[in-house]
Amino acid sequence: MLATIEAVRIYRRLLGAHLRAVLEYRADAMLTIAAAVLGQLAGLIFVATIFRQVPVLEGWTQWEVLCVCAMVMLAEGVGSLFFEGTWHLSGMVNLGALDYLLVRPYPVILQVTGAAVGVNGLGNVVIGTVLLAGAVGRTDVVWSPVTVLWAVLLLASGLLVKIAVSLATNALTFWLLSPSNSVAVSVHMLGDLARYPLTVYGTGVRALLVVIPVAFVGYFPAAALLDKGVSTTIGLLTPVVALACALAAWRIFEAGLRRYESAGT
């Protein structure tokens, strides 16, 4: 327990150091946050445009779809703010910078995930939180203490799935040996499809979003909370899927770390 508390304290200080470094260039940081907010607003305008033409999209109302979008935004924001270092793993491996992390008395996986702070995530967290609060208040969910706890668990599970998928796909750099990880980028872009009901896609796309499994970041947790038919049953498994993803990501990272041979210089 004490070791865990100490690890969290060090991780917080690590992120704090990176955040202070980023904020040394405040104008750049503000522009980055603004760009992230504008990008998310463009997506929301797209949703609003769709629902101006149709009142319901495959059984989902506008606010229910926005609830899914908000969950995805929050997951992306938290991932950028607190685990941005995952996206720098390819550079560390190819430049041999991972060597420095291996000799430090702190878990390598935490050093990697905490190696950077993405301030763009702040904009995503803010707009995602506001949107989620507004969306759930306009749905038919009957709130009770148990429902609130269930909603928090589903949201946390979706966050964990997002972080685990990012870590696992970026850890593939140990095998790909490329200065950039196109697989991780492709999977991240694929996750944008999971902002909308899976029923609007063909069977192949649905299966891909479940297997990867980015659909458990926002769609299935929202379905479980909003009681959306068959998807609700699958959504109930979100916490289990989140734990499985976290375990798989950790094992992939550890397996890659064992085959790491430095840059040779």
Q: Give the three-class secondary structure for 124.
A: helix
Q: Is the peptide bond before 213 cis (omega within 30 degrees of 0)?
A: yes
- CA–CA distance, 158 with 166 (Å, rounded to integer): 13
The type of residue at 182 is S
Helix orientation angle between 219-226 and 238-258, rounded to the nearest 10 degrees? 160
Which pair of structure tokens corresponds to residue 94? 């190819």
Contact at 8 Å (CB) between 260 and 172? no
- Backbone angles phi and psi of 73, in degrees to 5: -60, -45
pLDDT in tens, the chain (265 residues): 657 888 888 899 988 888 888 888 888 888 888 888 888 888 888 888 888 888 888 889 999 999 999 999 999 999 999 999 999 998 888 888 888 898 888 899 999 999 888 888 888 999 999 999 999 888 888 888 999 999 999 999 999 999 999 999 999 999 987 777 788 888 988 888 888 889 889 899 999 999 989 999 999 999 999 988 888 899 999 999 999 999 999 999 999 999 888 765 5
Burial of 230 (0-12, 13-18, 19+ CB in 10 A): exposed
Q: Which residues contact 252 (CB under 8 A, 6 or more apart)?
A: 167, 168, 171, 172
The DSSP element (H or E) to which 4 belongs, if any, is helix 2-22
Q: pTM of the entire structure?
A: 0.91
Cβ within 8 Å of residue 165, ≥6 positions away: 187, 191, 212, 213, 214, 217, 245, 249
Strand blocks (E) in 2-116: none
CB within 8 A of 238, min separation 6: which ones? 154, 157, 158, 161, 216, 220, 221, 224
Determine contact, residues 219/198, Cβ cutoff 8 Å: yes
Distances (CA, A) of 227 to 56, 87, 118, 214, 233: 16, 35, 34, 19, 9
